[in-house]
Amino acid sequence: MRHAIACLLCLGLVWIGTSTAVAEEIFISIVKSVEGGATITRGDTTHAVTSGMEVKRADIIRTDRNGHVGLVFSDDTRISIGPGTELTIDSYLFEPLENNLSFVLRLVRGTVSYLSGQIAKLAPEAVQLVLPAATIGVRGTHVLIKVD
Amino acid sequence: MKKSILIACCLAAMAFNMACGKKSMVMLAPDPDGSVGRITVANEAGSVDIDQANLATVIRSPEAAPRAPEPLDPAKVEALFGQVVANQPLPPLHFRLHFESDSVRLLPDSRRQLTEIVEAIEARSPTRVSVVGHTDTMGDKVYNVQLSLRRAITVRQLLIDRGIDAAFIDVVSHGQENPLVKTPDNVANAQNRRVEVVIR
């Protein structure tokens, strides 16, 4: 019995030691709104975007000519995606305690309104919005982008 | 001869446009609170800084430096960006709950705030909630990571008891590493003994 308790304690310590986040997979972003046609491509599969679904690193989001998607990230970043858009979350890390901070968003085409969150506040150099012909560095906060 | 040069030039221009014709426009907008941030737009050919609201730069190709920023006509801003700005998600809500010393017991004011938090979570649906536990710097660091985890788990359970779906709540423990008020080690601080609830 004592042995079992010791084991449990050990497991508990390992569990806390390896990750401060208890969730199985760390939450990155949630779809707060969707209108018109929008898809999300994850690996080899493509699904329709639905309200409340999670968005993960390396996901590709595409909207059709009537599509709109609103995203909120774990660091409070807010992104509104307009029609005819393709974008990818190339990198996202929000671990302020470990100082692991990164946000790289790639906009291939379309329209985006971007409002930066805590990553840009804590480590502005860690935020990049990559366009086909240039890269935007963000020290805050509200950026409007259109790529033809 | 002149004609063929002209045609060759046209073809070259078309090819160039196809390869690099992705014209981009980037504008710095005022923040919702009225303040103005700063951005840098750069490529191999050059870079521009923008630190005034409603100035925009145009980038025509990776080989051409971003153009000098110019004010964008408000009617054009509305035409290009009106809809995406209108569709911007609301800012996440942040609540702070406070605890008795070395305890997972909420202070009475914080306990009363739970109703407001539950209402906010329901009003924000679909949502995702983070419950982030913190301690002050009294006691051992490792102990404090566990204490702040117990605090966060307690708040999570209180939300579940009030009807919130457990699947939407993430629990995070920051121990004493992320204080609201910076203090030396081994200092009791009521402000730092907290759980932050973020509702998106």
Instruction: Return the CATH number at B130.
Output: 3.30.1330.60
Both B113 and B183 in one domain: the answer is yes
In a domain, B14, yes or no: no
Residue that finishes a domain, picked among B86, B104, B129? B86
| Contact call for B84 and A82, based on CB within 8 A | yes
Question: Given A52, A80, A136, which is nearest B26 (Cβ)?
Answer: A136
Pairwise CA distance, residues A107 & A87, whole Å: 4
Both B112 and B162 in one domain: the answer is yes
In a domain, A15, yes or no: no
Pull the structure tokens for residue B45: 């050919």
| Residues β-bridged to residue B98 | B194
Stretch 112-141 of chain A: residues touching chain B, C-beta under 8 Å: 112-113, 115-116, 131-141
Both B30 and B51 in one domain: the answer is yes
Both B97 and B172 in one domain: the answer is yes
In a domain, A72, yes or no: yes
In a domain, A17, yes or no: no
In a domain, A3, yes or no: no
Parent domain of A71? 23-147
In a domain, B4, yes or no: no
The pLDDT of residue A94: 93
Both B124 and B190 in one domain: the answer is yes
- Ranges A23-27, A46-50, B100-104, B137-141: which has the least confidence: A23-27
Task: Give chain A positions within 8 Å (CB) of B61.
Answer: 133
Pull the structure tokens for residue B192: 């730092």
| Contact call for B41 and A136, based on CB within 8 A | yes
Contact A7/B at CB under 8 A: no
How many other C-beta atoms can be found within 10 angstroms of the C-beta atom of residue A29?
23
Question: Given B26, B62, B145, which is nearest A16 (Cβ)?
Answer: B145
What is the reported pTM? 0.86
The pair phi, psi for residue B51, each rounded to 5°, is: -135, 15
B9-23 pLDDT, tens digit per residue, is: 555 555 554 445 689
Q: Which residues of chain B have pLDDT under 70?
A: 1-21
Contact B37/A at CB under 8 A: yes
Parent domain of B49? 22-86
A53-75 pLDDT, tens digit per residue, is: 999 999 999 999 999 999 999 99
The pLDDT of residue A25: 73
Both B109 and B60 in one domain: the answer is no
Both B100 and B77 in one domain: the answer is no
Q: What is the mean pLDDT of residues A41-57?
A: 97
Both B45 and B140 in one domain: the answer is no
The pLDDT of residue B166: 95
In a domain, B150, yes or no: yes
In a domain, B61, yes or no: yes
Pairwise CA distance, residues A42 & A46, whole Å: 6
Both B58 and B153 in one domain: the answer is no
Please return the burial class of B13, using the count of CB atoms within 10 Å of its CB with bins 0-12, 13-18 and 19+. exposed
In a domain, B163, yes or no: yes
Both B71 and B98 in one domain: the answer is no
In a domain, B2, yes or no: no
Cβ-proximal residues to B24 (8 Å cutoff; 6+ apart), any chain: A131, A132, A133, A134, A145, A146, A147, A148, B58, B59
**DSSP character for B172?**
E
B5 vs chain A: nearest CA distance in angstroms? 29
Pull the structure tokens for residue A127: 């935020």
Cβ-proximal residues to A41 (8 Å cutoff; 6+ apart), any chain: A59, A60, A61, A62
What's the domain count of chain B?
A: 2
The pLDDT of residue A20: 44
Say what percent of chain B tops pLDDT 90. Answer: 86
A89-146 pLDDT, tens digit per residue, is: 999 999 988 889 999 999 999 999 999 999 999 999 999 999 999 999 998 899 999 9
Question: Mean of the per-residue pLDDT values for chain A?
Answer: 88
In a domain, A6, yes or no: no
In a domain, A10, yes or no: no
Is the predicted pLDDT of residue A11 greater than 60, yes or no?
no
In a domain, A113, yes or no: yes
| Contact call for B89 and A72, based on CB within 8 A | yes
In a domain, A16, yes or no: no
Both B100 and B151 in one domain: the answer is yes
Contact B4/A at CB under 8 A: no
Both B113 and B76 in one domain: the answer is no
Contact B200/A at CB under 8 A: yes
Contact B48/A at CB under 8 A: no
In a domain, B145, yes or no: yes
In a domain, B74, yes or no: yes
| Contact call for B43 and A134, based on CB within 8 A | yes
Is the predicted pLDDT of residue A19 greater than 50, yes or no?
no
